[in-house]
């Protein structure tokens, strides 16, 4: 294969692997701007992936599978918000428990179930698909990935230009001052979690019925944590967060593509590369940029 063909192959794989991260990262970005370090994004993605495959197999429609996958992510978010804000359980503990619960539940269900394979359709954009090297990689993709062209600007507008986004940022920076002005702090945080749940579930569903067409045990394999790292890498700015998703997606693509291209490297090293990059990003960027001041801090009305 030519160099151009190699680059096109890696780029195409990178786009496919970036998609699920980008959907979930749009949601995680909103959750963190509201002050919630949403560890359960892994559970949202994994639950969405399983539900989408099960639904697609039962209905014969991968599109319906995507919708149900997003709904399952939403349900995880509602449960997280209820336990963290109403039962006042530590949000990090809730996130870790939900991740373990969904992993165990989906591992059991996939062991006792059998599902037919379904995938959403490809969309090929005339003329643009013929651009050398990048045409087929960028413009012959499963249709959900093109939703990012609308979703990313919409997410930016919601956070930076809407009244809801202004209140969301206030809650993430100074929840007590926001509460004094009449903003319902935990309601806004739960709304941000629900938005994250929808997008996290959709991202997992896209991975399953968009790119793979099936479900396997621990399918997301820590991608939820990479999403968190992407938000930190992006210094809690949406554009930089998307860049982080692209970099992590390309690193994962290299892991898959290099053996196929005849490049021999240690397999375990290649598997670890995206996670090493995520760890380095967290170490470097978390100290150079300021996170929302109230990130990870619980809010109880009336407490000092």
Q: Is residue 140 part of a domain?
A: no
pLDDT, residue 194, reads 96
Confidence at residue 280, expressed as pLDDT on a 0 to 100 scale: 77
User: pTM of whole model > 0.85?
Assistant: yes
In a domain, 143, yes or no: no
In a domain, 304, yes or no: no
Of the pLDDT bands very low, low, confident and very high (cuts 50, 70, 90), residue 271 is low
234 is a domain residue: yes
Domain that holds residue 249: 3-116+152-288
Task: Residue 105: give its domain's CATH number.
Answer: 1.10.3470
Alpha-carbon torsion (117, 7, 221, 145), positive or negative:
negative
The reply to whether 44 falls in a domain is: yes
pLDDT score recorded for residue 135: 78
Is the residue at 144 inside a domain? no
User: What's residue 304's pLDDT?
Assistant: 47
Q: How confident is the model at residue 74 (pLDDT cuts 50, 70, 90)?
A: very high
**pLDDT value, residue 264:** 65
Is 98 inside any structural domain? yes
Residue 190 within a domain = yes
The pLDDT confidence band at residue 256, using thresholds 50, 70 and 90, is: confident
State how many domains the chain has: 1
**Per-residue pLDDT for 76 more than 60?**
yes
pLDDT band at 82 (very low <50, low <70, confident <90, very high): very high
> Interior CA angle at 209 toward 262 and 238, to 5°?
85
pLDDT for residue 5: 60
Q: Which residues contact 178 (CB under 8 A, 6 or more apart)?
A: 167, 170, 171, 185, 188
For residues 136 and 269, which has the higher predicted lDDT (pLDDT)? 136
């Amino acid at each position: 294969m030519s160099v151009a063909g190699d680059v096109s192959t890696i780029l195409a794989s990178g786009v496919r692997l970036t998609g699920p991260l980008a959907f979930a990262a749009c949601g995680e970005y909103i959750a963190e701007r509201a002050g919630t370090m949403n560890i359960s994004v892994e559970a949202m993605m994994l639950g969405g992936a399983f539900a989408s495959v099960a639904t697609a197999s039962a209905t014969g429609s991968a599109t319906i599978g995507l919708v149900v996958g997003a709904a399952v992510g939403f349900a995880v978010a509602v449960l997280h918000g209820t336990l963290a804000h109403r039962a006042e359980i530590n949000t990090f503990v809730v996130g870790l428990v939900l991740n373990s619960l969904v992993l165990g539940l989906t591992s059991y269900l996939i062991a006792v179930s059998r599902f037919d394979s379904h995938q959403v359709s490809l969309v090929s954009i005339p003329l643009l698909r013929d651009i050398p090297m990048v045409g087929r990689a960028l413009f012959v993709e499963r249709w959900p990935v093109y939703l990012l062209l609308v979703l990313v600007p919409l997410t930016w507008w919601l956070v930076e230009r809407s009244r809801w986004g202004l209140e969301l940022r206030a809650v993430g920076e100074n929840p007590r001052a926001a509460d004094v002005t009449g903003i319902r702090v935990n309601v806004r945080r739960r709304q941000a979690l629900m938005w994250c749940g929808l997008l996290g579930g959709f991202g997992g569903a896209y991975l399953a019925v968009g790119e793979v067409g099936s479900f396997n045990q621990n399918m997301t394999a820590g991608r939820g944590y990479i999403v968190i790292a992407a938000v930190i890498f992006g210094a809690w700015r949406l554009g930089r967060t998307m860049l982080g998703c692209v970099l992590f997606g390309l690193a994962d693509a290299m892991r898959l593509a290099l053996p196929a291209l005849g490049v021999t490297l240690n397999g375990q090293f290649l598997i670890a590369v995206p996670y090493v990059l995520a760890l380095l990003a967290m170490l470097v960027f978390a100290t150079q940029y300021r996170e929302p001041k109230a990130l990870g801090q619980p809010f109880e009305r009336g407490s000092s």
